[in-house]
Amino acid sequence: MKRVLTVQDLSCVGKCALAVALPVLSVMGVEACPLPTAVLSAHTMFPDVAIRDLTEEMPRFSAHWQAQKIRFDAICTGYLASVRQVELTAELFRTFGGEDVRIIVDPAMAEGGALYTGFSPDFPDKIAALCAQADVITPNITEAALLTHRPYPGEDCGAETAMAFARELTEMGPACAVVTGVRFPDGRIGAVGYDRKTGNGFEKAAERVGGKYHATGDLFSAALTGAVARGLSTERAVSLAADFVCECLRRTPPEREDAYGPCFETALPWLADELQTR
């Protein structure tokens, strides 16, 4: 069984980050090993959240794993709340990485043309250095623009602009860049990727289901990571992950509050079955 280290926060209410990654990876037949960067009573779309920061515990976890000679087949990251967490995660890559260890970075730091609250203007450069160590990165349009120091083109920029971003992002170091949340002219939504090693670009468009839901990116990243860890090519992993997100949204009542995220739980058997056929 493949073993994946997933580095992100644990929000106890609101379906995102580790609360999503652990069940998704597990149902895909992957041993999911969490490294919680913080524990929150709920994610930050809720007011007055209680937070216990675990940044300084991260080196202790790493040291224990090294002492136990624990190895990982893949490492994935989600939202990292500070420069210190980015630095510690980069050290994890150097410690537990290797030729056969796949590294997937979701540079979760911005959307809608702006950085998340609390990040300084130089934060994208810190994330860019982390992305340089990755095999696959999954920025949205806003994050792609920030990482490349390009003007934000708007959410409706299209597949051609997204592909240009993906190509430029691979020049920073990652073997493959997948730009997510791309809107296609026919109304579909999906991802555009470029693989520097093969020179191939690819697109995955899917039916747009429902409205805007919190943490669909976390679902996508988790499913992509599980598929890559199980040996699928990045292009096939992207296709599976995008279809999984759509399946989750189909199972989510339209009146559901955005803060609680999609109803992904009932789609997990679907994901396990699809993985076997792809």
Q: Return the CATH number at 205.
A: 3.40.1190.20
Q: Which two tokens stand for residue 19?
A: 């609360």
Please work out, in degrees rounded to the nearest 5, the angle formed at the alpha carbon of residue 166 by the alpha carbons of 163 and 170. 145
For residue 17, tell me if it sits in a domain.
yes
Q: Tokens standing for 114?
A: 């702006």
Closest CA to 264 of 227, 220, 229: 220
Total domain count for the chain? 1
Identify whether 233 is part of a domain.
Answer: yes
Q: Does residue 278 lie within any of the structural domains?
A: no
Chunked mean pLDDT (size 10), the chain, 278 residues = 97 95 98 98 92 97 98 97 98 96 98 94 97 98 98 93 98 97 90 96 87 86 98 96 94 77 94 95
* Cα–Cα nearest to 178, from 144, 210, 226, 218: 144
Q: Torsions phi, psi of 28, nearest 5?
A: -85, 5
Which residue range is the domain that position 12 belongs to?
3-270
| Stated pTM of the model | 0.95
- Residue 276 covered by a domain: no
Q: How far is 278 from 45, CA to CA, in rounded Å?
A: 35
Structural element, H or E, at residue 275:
helix 268-277
Q: What backbone torsions phi and psi does residue 172 show, to the nearest 5 degrees?
A: -85, -10
Cα 124 from Cα 5, distance rounded (Å): 23
- DSSP code at position 151: P
Residue 277 lies in a domain: no
257 residue type, one letter? E
Domain membership of residue 275 (yes or no) is no
CA distances from 130 to 77, 106, 107, 127, 255 (A): 10, 10, 9, 5, 38
Nearest to 238 by CA among 173, 177, 147: 177
Distance CA 194, CA 100 (A): 21
